[in-house]
Amino acid sequence: MFTFTVRRLLFAVPTLLAISFIIFALLDLAPSDPLSDLPLTIPPEVREQIRLAMGLDQPFIIRYFKWLQQFFINEPLNIFEQITGITVGSGERMRVLSWATRSPVVDLIVQRLPQTLWVVGLSYLFGVLIAIPIGVISAYRQYSWFDQIGTFVSMVGYSVPTFFTGVLLIVVFSSWLQWFPSIYDTTLVVNSWDSFILQVKQMFLPVLVLTLFNVSQISRFVRASMLDNLNMDYVRTARAKGVKEKIVLLVHVLRNSLIPVVTVIALGVPTIFSGAIITEQVFRVNGLGQLLITAIQGADIPLVQTLTFIFAILIVLFNLIADVLYGILDPRIRYE
């Protein structure tokens, strides 16, 4: 298992380098322009100066290697310095700078990460916690009214896009009932009971929208996996031995059914970090998803490049984790 993990990690390095190059090339070939948001009153000569200051006059390959150096050497060194307080070399090195804000990309990401983890992470957690019981009951009582309703709700949750449910909830709960704010107050500091209530209130709608989506998705997996296992021979054997129905279901069947579900959940974790782009935009949650979409719209290429690359790292990493978990959970699988 250990050698397998090490081998996979080593393989990840060339994979990620290739990914970073492809992202960089794609972004460079894309026709969007960082100056397109500027008023037309800014004359062409000035635009040229701005382009030069962004380093856009340099050849593609040089810009790519510069980014590599900034991302893989300068930024880790900077984090190391901040944590330990030790200055390496002169301490002055070029960091990955966003074109729109002209500030270090990593600082932006660090600033946005907590909101995404809270809102999207919480909805993922709720999604898992709600989906498993629903999936289990739906499968155990297949075609019962509970299963039918569950299927209907998850179909709705899965097929109706979040930009629709989000706006619908705003119209109902913010405009009509005025129970919840429609705009996430990102300056709120939770330091008292009242501010905590406010925080819960403003997180309610976005978390609800995303939880609905996650529940729909995961409960389907749980149900399908449970159904596969309920018809297995070992279940019949357990029942024939006189094992209680509760133990058959929750110990024998559920444990075996969760193996593929755990993989699905692990593979879904990177999506937490990439944020829920649409939901964050609708509720104005200042998370990573919103950061990414504004960066794409404004053609803030260093920011898009760095964010997508971090997501790529997470996806590669969680694929590995899913594989390893599989090996741990299922004794039949051994990697050598």
Partner 1 sequence: MNTRKLMLAASAAAFALTAAPAMAERGTDGDLKIIFWQAVSTMNPYLSGGTKEVYAASMVIEPLARYDETGALVPMLATEIPTVENGGVAEDLKSITWKLKPDLKWSDGSAVTAEDAIFTWKYCTAPDGGCAQGAYFEGVTNVEAVDASTIKVSFSEAKPYPYSAFVGAQSPIIQAAQFKDCLGAKAPECTSANFGPIGTGPFVVKEFKPNDVVTFEANSNYRDAAKPAFASVTLKGGGDAASAARSVLETGEFDYAWNMQVEPEILEQMMAAGKGKIEVAFGTQVERIDINPYGVDPSLGDKRSTKEAGPHPALSDPAVRRALSIAIDREIIDEAGYGPNGQPTCNILPAPDIYVSTAVDWCLTQDIEGANKLLEDAGWKMGSDGIREKDGVKLSFLYQTSTNSVRQGTQALVKDMWSQIGVSVELRNISASVFFGGDPASPDTFQKFMADIQMYTNNFDGTDPEKYMAGWMCDKIPSPATGWQGENIVRYCNPEYDALVKELGQTGELEKRAEIAKKLNDMLSNDVAQIPLIHRGQPSAVNNTLLGVKMNAWDSELWNVADWSRAK
**Interface positions with partner 1 (CB under 8 A):** 31-33, 35-54, 97-98, 100-104, 107-108, 111, 167, 170, 174-175, 178, 181-183, 185-187, 281-282, 284, 286, 290-291, 294, 297-299
Q: Which is nearer to partner 1, 28 or 245 (CB)?
A: 28
Q: How far is the CB of 233 from partner 1 (least distance, A)?
A: 56
Using CB atoms within 10 A of its CB, is residue 335 exposed (0-12), middle (13-18) or buried (19+)?
A: middle
- Cβ 319 vs Cβ 55: under 8 Å: no
Paired residues of 104 in beta bridges:
97
Q: How far is the CB of 201 from partner 1 (least distance, A)?
A: 13
Q: How far is the CB of 54 from partner 1 (least distance, A)?
A: 7
- Cβ 82 vs Cβ 74: under 8 Å: no
Cα–Cα dist 291/312, whole Å: 16
Structure tokens at 303: 């920011």
> 97 by DSSP, 3-state: which?
strand
Q: How far is the CB of 138 from partner 1 (least distance, A)?
A: 36
- Please choose, from the candidates 73, 106, 65, the residue with its C-alpha nearest in 3D space to the C-alpha of residue 89: 73
Q: Which is nearer to partner 1, 18 or 197 (CB)?
A: 197
Q: Which is nearer to partner 1, 257 or 279 (CB)?
A: 279
Q: How far is the CB of 298 from partner 1 (least distance, A)?
A: 8
Q: Which is nearer to partner 1, 127 or 298 (CB)?
A: 298
DSSP 306-332: HHHHHHHHHHHHHHHHHHHHHHHH-TT
Q: Which is nearer to partner 1, 138 or 182 (CB)?
A: 182
Determine how many CB atoms are found less than 10 A away from the CB of residue 299: 19
Q: Which is nearer to partner 1, 15 or 103 (CB)?
A: 103
Q: How far is the CB of 308 from partner 1 (least distance, A)?
A: 17
